[in-house]
Amino acid sequence: MARETVVHRQGEDYAYEDEQGEQRGARLLREVLEVGILTLMLFIVVHLLVQNYRVDGPSMTPTLINQEYILVDKAQYIFQRPQRGDIIVFAFPQDTSQDFVKRIIGLPGDTVRVDANGQVTVDGVAINEPYVNDLTNPYPPNTWVLKSDQYFVLGDNRGDSSDSRAWGPVPRSDIIGKAALVYWPFSDLRLLSDYSIVYAHVHK
């Protein structure tokens, strides 16, 4: 006759070794190890999906303030592509040991232009950006045509930001995740908006 393999919830069934008083220490050790392993697995899973970062610098003011802490969703772009308006954390293309945070302005295939006065156009559509602190453009006016894996990013504090105007688009492979939440200081707790409505008139 075939034998079934069964499992029992801990503490559900009467255990012979408890009656004999022989294995209680071993059972306690096993339970401690199980809790430790489960905690470690949960930590690993959470770390794979979410990462916390500290903002260092003024380039995303007023959306992100220097020394604020943010949570970055690393799982979202597994299921969907980054979108215009998303605030992303990515490896700096010129030094991938550094992580930067900026806002996506242009998607693969887009033509992005930044004029001398700071006006941004995407595929000929002028973008009215309510989240921008300063439209000053300290870089020469230029136009970028994005390749199939490139994203154009800018800081919200345009007059004090090193971004795609200075060093070009960000490859998709360098994008770590989407900044979703400011969680510290606690008084600044807030979700981060992607302002998708701003780009509603640009083709999808």
Q: Is 111 in the same domain as 190?
A: yes
Phi-psi region of 130 (alpha: psi -120 to 50; beta: other; left: phi over 0): alpha
Query: Which residue segment(s) compose the domain that 38 sits in?
Result: 16-48
Please check whether residues 126 and 44 belong to one and the same domain.
no
Total number of domains in the chain: 2
Whether residue 121 is found in the same domain as residue 79: yes
More confident residue, 189 or 20: 189
Residues 63 and 121 occupy one common structural domain: yes
- pLDDT tens digits for range 84-118: 999 999 999 999 999 999 999 999 999 999 999 99
Residue 149: CATH number of its domain: 2.10.109.10
Torsion of the alpha carbons at 48, 146, 92 and 138, rounded to the nearest 10: -140
Verify whether residue 161 is a known catalytic residue.
no
**pLDDT bracket for residue 166 (50, 70, 90):** very high
CA separation (Å) from 37 to 11, 40, 88? 19, 5, 32
Identify whether 172 is part of a domain. yes
Q: State the amino acid at position 136 in one-letter form.
A: T
User: Are residues 27 and 42 part of one domain?
Assistant: yes
- With respect to residue 171, please indicate whether it lies within any of the assigned structural domains: yes
Residue 5 within any structural domain of the chain: no
Nearest CA among 47, 114, 108, 116 for reference residue 83: 108
Query: Are 134 and 186 part of one and the same domain?
Result: yes
The C-alpha torsion from 159 through 163 and 166 to 170, rounded to 10°, is -160
Based on the fold, state whether residues 29 and 86 are members of the same structural domain: no
pLDDT at 47: 60
- For 104, phi then psi, to 5°, come to -75, 130
Asked about 59 being catalytic, the answer comes back as: yes
Report, as an integer, the average pLDDT of 9-29.
57
Residues 113 and 39 in one domain: no
**Statement to judge: residues 97 and 23 lie in one domain:** no
* pLDDT for residue 7 is more than 70: no
In a domain, 3, yes or no: no
Per annotation, catalytic residue among 74, 102, 178, 193: 102
Query: Is 8 within a domain?
Result: no
pLDDT of residue 154: 97
Q: Kindly state whether residues 74 and 38 are assigned to the same domain.
A: no
